[in-house]
Structures are given as structure tokens and as C-alpha cells.
A and B are shown apart, each in its own frame.
Chain A
Amino acid sequence: MSLKGWKEKLFQRYMIWSCRPSRVTKHLRSVLPHSRQPEPAGRRQIKVAALQIELKLFKNPLQYADEMHRLVREAADQGAQLIVFPEYNNLALFGMLPGIEKMEKEDLREKEAKAGKEGKGGASVQGKGDDLSLADLFRYISPAVKPLVHTIFSQFASAYGLHIMAGSYALEEKGEIVNRALLYGPSGDLIGSQDKVHLLPMEAEWNLKKAASFNVYETPLGCLAMPVCMDATYYETFRILEKSGAEIVLLPIANLEEYNYWLALRGIWPRVQESQVYGIKSALVGSVAGFTFTGRAGIFAPLEITPGQNGVLAEVEPFDREAIALAILNLEALNQLRSNHPWRDSNQQLYKRYFPEIYEGKDH
């Protein structure tokens, strides 16, 4: 199957038309509040929300916008100043493709089972339908998704006066697909983005392009960074972000695996302890077309500044349904801990001896 026939090209034009900013803006104008200004962010305490979204397919982009708006409104109504959406937040827009569930169902189930057997924890999505990969589908819908996502999250951020990390999206960029997280500020501007650096084997098979650096963005809420899912498997990500000034690390995930407490613990939680930052994990959960995603969205902090000394400020209970985690972050407490820490140390001589050469030329 190909996406290059005239029918497919025509349908792509239709999708781009139906997702066009003027149409979406007109729709949102009727539902969004008029520039609601939350309390200005102080450096002492900020309220944050980690969303756990149950994956549903949307045929109509305006319905997708309404759903995203419902989630933003719910978090904003509870006082959140920063809202974090999950990885692959554009999977829901596969619903725009006619017959997508039927076309992919059986094959994707098979692929998922294989991935599970191979123990590919921290997985995202995978699958091929004949000669058509998910990467092909991401590429196909990308020209419609990009303006849609920008329009809706930009307008949500400005209407509610919030910072919103819109989740990550598989987008086409100069002919290549990247898994990109997007951060919007209260003026509606795109503050920054982060492409995924560490790919799953299946993402590598799709030829997703890896990023070569990690970004940190200074905002009134603090210095924010947003690596993507698998990036949190490696301490290097958070160490580099910490050294670059990050105070709050936002992590969108979409784990394609059965839920297990310990497997789920392996990502952001230990990274927060190693690097002494705040961590916010948002999760895509639920089942679509044979895929089952699990996770528990949560907000994490160094052990020393969590009430139970367990590194958890808030964590949702279900691993397979929609939920929201809310918590207050105290950046002064974090910086005090960092500046007078009981066990943190740095050994420059050791690092100079081994880094970066140790990573090169070895068969691990």
C-alpha cells in the first residue's frame, strides 16, 4: 500500500484544509475564555499538572481540539500554572484516516505481542501494515497536525495564561521524522522544542531522526526541559540538563508494555534522584487498534524534599485510565537542598579520564 496515489494526495489536502488555523481558531473562539490571567508565577511555589490521557481516535480535528481543551480547563480550574501532556499526542489524530482501526488492527496486535516478548520496556508504538509503517502514517498526517497543534496549544496557553508542554508529536521536519516535544508560554508563543535523543529500536527502524543536544528554557516558572520518554532511561540526559540549569524536567511518555510498578519506576524517578531536579511525567494510556499503553502520571522530587521521603509528590492511581496529578513545586527548597547537599559530589578528574572516549568504539 502506498500513500502517494492521487486519492491519498487528495485526502491529505482535505486533512490540511480541515486542520487549517483559521477554522480551528474560529472554533476555539467560541469556547475559550478571554485571556484568563492566573496568579503570577513566583519563584517560591508553582502548581503543576501531569496529565494521563486515555487514547481515543478523533475523526474530526475540532473534536480533538475540544478534548485537549477539556483537559487544559480541568487542570487550569485546579490552579495549575504548568500543564504537561504525554508522548505521541498525535496518535489520536490517526482517527482522521478512514478505516485506520480496521486496516491496522490485526497486524499491530501481532507486533505488540512480539515487542512484549522481547522485553522492550519503555516502548512507544510500532507496527507495519504491509509495506506501510507507522512512520509513513506520521509523515502523511504531519502537514495537517503541525498547524493544528500549534494553533490549539498556543491559544490554550494564551487564553488561560499558562505554560503548556503540549506533549510530543511525530512530525516531518525537512524530510525526516522527529519525535518532538513542544512548550508554549502564556503569550501563546512557542517557547521551545526538544526532539527525542534516545530512540527505541523500533523508532530507529522507522528512521526517526535523533536529536544531538538537550535544550533548557528559562521561564518565569523556572528553567524547564522536556526530554522524551526513552531519554529518561539514561542518567546522561538528566545530568546534562541539570548542568545546563534545568530545575523542572517535563517527561512525556507512551509506554507500550503491561504495567508493572518496578518497570515503571525505572525512568524519571531514579533520574530525579540522581540529578536533584523536579520531574513531571505525563502518560498516554489505553488501547487503540491493538496497542495497549500503560503508565502512571506523576510529579517527582528528590527524596529529601518529599513528605514521605519517597521521591513522589503526586502520582495518579490508575495505570490505564485518564487521571491528573497535581502538586506544588518549591524551587527555593530545591535550590537550598542542592547547595548544601549531604551526598552530592563531582569528580572532574574521574570524568575527564573517561568521558567522552569511553562511549566510543565499544561493543556493549
Chain B
Amino acid sequence: MRVAALTLAGIKLKSIDQYQSGLDYLLKGSGIDLVVLPAYSALLLGLETGAITNYNDFDSVMRGYLVQNEDWHNLFLNLHSSLAAEFGIYLVCGTTVEKPIGKNDGSPADCFYQTAYCFNPDGKICGRQRQTHLTHDERELGFSRGEELNTFTAGDLQVGLVVGNDARHPEVGRIFSLCGADLLLHSGALKSGLNCWPQAAGMWAQVQQNQCWAVEAQLSAIIAGKILGASPAVIGPCEITPGQSGYIARGYPESSIVTAELDEPARQSLKKNYPLLRMLSPHAYSALQGSRNR
């Protein structure tokens, strides 16, 4: 499977047409099977196209977005459904804010979630994942936590979506992997100017301890004065990557896209020879369920 991670850098976003053209330029005829967009993609596109009201600071933008986002949410999902079908790819559209009002899915009416969606090559939603761990700022804004992690099929692989801050919580990668995930798709948005280590402590670490793949998309943009930018990457177990670095492909914050081919037989062979997950010691994990201070 050929995979790609995007940053949205270099793509003009002043209109939906411009956005489509930008993705078209990067993806059409590229042979890519699966693409991951970064977090805050719906917010950024909505602001740039004028569908969402802009304010001077990030918090105000987010608060405004939470109030008015329902129509834009649907439009954004429909757009990416069309794009997935047009390109014939699996497409993770990044994140949008999901309000389950009237959806009768058991969620409280006043909840809202940072949620990522994946569309299959027919344009249908094949995966949806609410963020399960919130940052301090997200808690302040009133986001709720998702309480499930569900895998789905993309091609021959089982896939899990890792949303935003979930990258820093190893429980997420472990649950996905024990549920059979081969590939983790991460939509992230980190503030600019950090070194490479916060990312290594996130998806890179999750991949190494679960012997899975990850595609890490990071947003490169300025939203209401907040500068976001980190490196997109495709990550695999150290043993089957160049220089044993764990990175198959790695860009810069200003890179529009990184792509890589996943060598699944090599990963299966590694897992067979050195079965890390079979060497877990659950008899010693009874304390995992208890509470932990933030």
C-alpha cells in the first residue's frame, strides 16, 4: 500500500475550487492508495473560505466555530467524500468538530468532539474516531472525550485513527493494536518551533512498542495568529526502516506531502520473529484501570 501524509502547506485555500485543485495536483495519478490530512483541517478551510467567522485570537476562533459549525461540518464531509471517490483513494479528511445533537447515538446533547473521518474509494465513511484524550486547552474549551476506539479495514490492513493529542497517550496505540490494527493514521497539529522530540514521543513511540505502521499528518498553517507546523512522516518498526530509524519517510513542516510504500510482508516477518505483543505480561497489569492524576 502506498500512503501519504499532507500538511496543507502550499495549497491555496481561498476557495473550495482552489483547495480541490491543490489536492488534485498532489494526488492525481500519484499511485497513492491512502492519504491523511492533518488536524484542524475543517477549521482552517472554513476560515480561509469565509465559511467560519475569523477572530483575532485562537480561543475566540474556536469558540465561534463551536457555535456555528453544523452546516460547514456537513459541507466539509461531503466535499471529502467526493474527493475520495474522485481520486479512488482512502482519505482521512483531518478533523472537524462533531456535535451529536439529534443523532441519537447515546452522547449527551451538549457534547462536542474533535473527530476524524476516513472515506473509502467509493466516497463512503469507513472510519470515524473521536479524540479520546484532551489537552488542557481543549478541556477549557469544553470538548468531550470519545470513549471508544474502533478499527476498520482499508485495503488489506486494519486501521485505527489517532486524533490530535491521542498521539501522546500510549493506551490508544495499544488498544488499537490489540484490536488488530496494522496501521495508525494520525491527524495532528502541533505548534511551530518545537524540535523533533515531541513527535518522537508520540507516534514514533507508539509504532515501536506495537510494531505497526503510522502515517502522521501535521498541519502547517497560521490560525488566528497561532503558528502550527511539524513534520509529516511515515513510520514503521525500526528493524524494517532505513538506518533502523523508524522513519520510512519524513518531511519538514513546509513540505506539502510525504509518501511511502508499506512493506507489509516485512512487518509480518518481524512480528513473527520478535512478537512483542505476545510478550506482554497482563498478569501484572491489574493496576492499569485505576485513576491517574492529570
Contacts of B149 in A (CB 8 A): 350, 354
Q: A31 on the interface (CB 8 Å rule)?
A: no
Q: How many A-B residue pairs have CB under 8 A?
A: 180
Contacts of B276 in A (CB 8 A): 233
* Nearest CB on B from A332, distance (A): 16
From B62-70, B237-245, B251-259, give the one contacting chain A: B237-245
* Known contacts A121-B239, A350-B148: A342-B135 contact under CB 8 Å: yes
Cβ contact of B288, chosen from A213, A230, A240, A260, cutoff 8 A = A240
Cβ contact of B136, chosen from A260, A265, A342, cutoff 8 A = A342
Contacts of A118 in B (CB 8 A): 273-274
Contacting pair B178 A359 (CB below 8 A): yes
Q: Which residue of B lies closest to A340 (CB)?
A: B136
Q: A17 on the interface (CB 8 Å rule)?
A: no
Contacts of B273 in A (CB 8 A): 118-120
Q: B218 on the interface (CB 8 Å rule)?
A: no
Q: A353 on the interface (CB 8 Å rule)?
A: yes
* Nearest CB on A from B262, distance (A): 18
Q: B104 on the interface (CB 8 Å rule)?
A: no
Q: B56 on the interface (CB 8 Å rule)?
A: no
Q: B225 on the interface (CB 8 Å rule)?
A: no
Main secondary structure of the interface of B (DSSP, over half): helix
Contacting pair B279 A273 (CB below 8 A): no
Cβ contact of B292, chosen from A199, A262, A309, A346, cutoff 8 A = A346
Contacts of A212 in B (CB 8 A): 281, 283-284
Contacts of A353 in B (CB 8 A): 147-148
Within 8 A of B (CB), among A319-352: 338-352
Report the separation of the CA atoms of residues A274 and B167 in the bound assembly, to the nearest whole angstrom.
10
Contacts of A20 in B (CB 8 A): none
Q: B169 on the interface (CB 8 Å rule)?
A: yes
* Nearest CB on A from B230, distance (A): 14
* Nearest CB on A from B293, distance (A): 7
Report the separation of the CA atoms of residues A239 and B208 in the bound assembly, to the nearest whole angstrom.
17
Contacting pair A266 B279 (CB below 8 A): no
Within 8 A of A (CB), among B216-255: 238-239, 243-246
Q: A78 on the interface (CB 8 Å rule)?
A: no
* Nearest CB on B from A124, distance (A): 13
Report the separation of the CA atoms of residues A352 and B145 in the bound assembly, to the nearest whole angstrom.
14
Cβ contact of B209, chosen from A234, A262, A347, A358, cutoff 8 A = A234
Report the separation of the CA atoms of residues A244 and B274 in the bound assembly, to the nearest whole angstrom.
30
Q: A94 on the interface (CB 8 Å rule)?
A: no
Report the separation of the CA atoms of residues A214 and B285 in the bound assembly, to the nearest whole angstrom.
9
Within 8 A of A (CB), among B110-157: 132-137, 139, 145-149
Report the separation of the CA atoms of residues A349 and B147 in the bound assembly, to the nearest whole angstrom.
6
Q: A143 on the interface (CB 8 Å rule)?
A: no
* Nearest CB on A from B294, distance (A): 5
Contacting pair A213 B243 (CB below 8 A): no
Contacts of B283 in A (CB 8 A): 210, 212
Report the separation of the CA atoms of residues A143 and B73 in the bound assembly, to the nearest whole angstrom.
70
Contacts of B136 in A (CB 8 A): 340-343
Cβ contact of A350, chosen from B171, B244, B246, cutoff 8 A = B171
Contacts of B146 in A (CB 8 A): 350
Contacts of A201 in B (CB 8 A): 274, 279
Contacting pair B289 A364 (CB below 8 A): no
Report the separation of the CA atoms of residues A362 and B135 in the bound assembly, to the nearest whole angstrom.
32
Q: B99 on the interface (CB 8 Å rule)?
A: no
Q: Which residue of A lies closest to B288 (CB)?
A: A355
Interface residue tally on B, bucketed by range: 35 or more
Q: B13 on the interface (CB 8 Å rule)?
A: no
Contacts of A350 in B (CB 8 A): 132, 145-149, 171, 175
Q: B170 on the interface (CB 8 Å rule)?
A: yes
Contacting pair B274 A119 (CB below 8 A): yes
Counting chain A CB atoms within 10 Å of each CB, the highest count among B139, B201, B204, B270 belongs to B201
Contacts of B165 in A (CB 8 A): 343, 345
Q: B282 on the interface (CB 8 Å rule)?
A: yes
Contacting pair A358 B239 (CB below 8 A): no
* Known contacts A239-B288, A263-B238: A270-B195 contact under CB 8 Å: no
Contacts of B274 in A (CB 8 A): 118-121, 201
Contacts of B238 in A (CB 8 A): 121, 260, 262-263, 266
Q: Which residue of A lies closest to B133 (CB)?
A: A345
Within 8 A of B (CB), among A298-332: 303, 308-311
Contacts of B288 in A (CB 8 A): 236, 239-240, 351, 355-356
Q: Which residue of A lies closest to B286 (CB)?
A: A356
* Nearest CB on A from B190, distance (A): 10
Cβ contact of B279, chosen from A198, A309, A310, A346, cutoff 8 A = A198
Cβ contact of B277, chosen from A348, A354, A364, cutoff 8 A = A364
Cβ contact of B287, chosen from A204, A243, A266, A303, cutoff 8 A = A243
Q: A235 on the interface (CB 8 Å rule)?
A: yes
Q: Which residue of B lies closest to A210 (CB)?
A: B281
* Known contacts A243-B290, A347-B145, A352-B289: A360-B282 contact under CB 8 Å: yes
- What string of 1s and 0s marks CB contacts (under 8 Å) between B181-218 and chain A? 00000000000001101101100110011000000000
17 contacts between A and B (CB under 8 A): A120-B274, A121-B239, A204-B279, A236-B284, A239-B288, A240-B284, A243-B287, A244-B287, A270-B208, A310-B197, A342-B135, A345-B134, A347-B147, A348-B291, A356-B286, A358-B175, A359-B178
14 more A-B residue pairs beyond the given contacts A243-B292, A273-B168, A346-B293, with a C-beta to C-beta distance below 8 A:
A197-B281, A198-B281, A200-B279, A210-B284, A234-B209, A239-B292, A260-B244, A274-B168, A303-B198, A309-B197, A338-B293, A343-B136, A354-B175, A356-B286
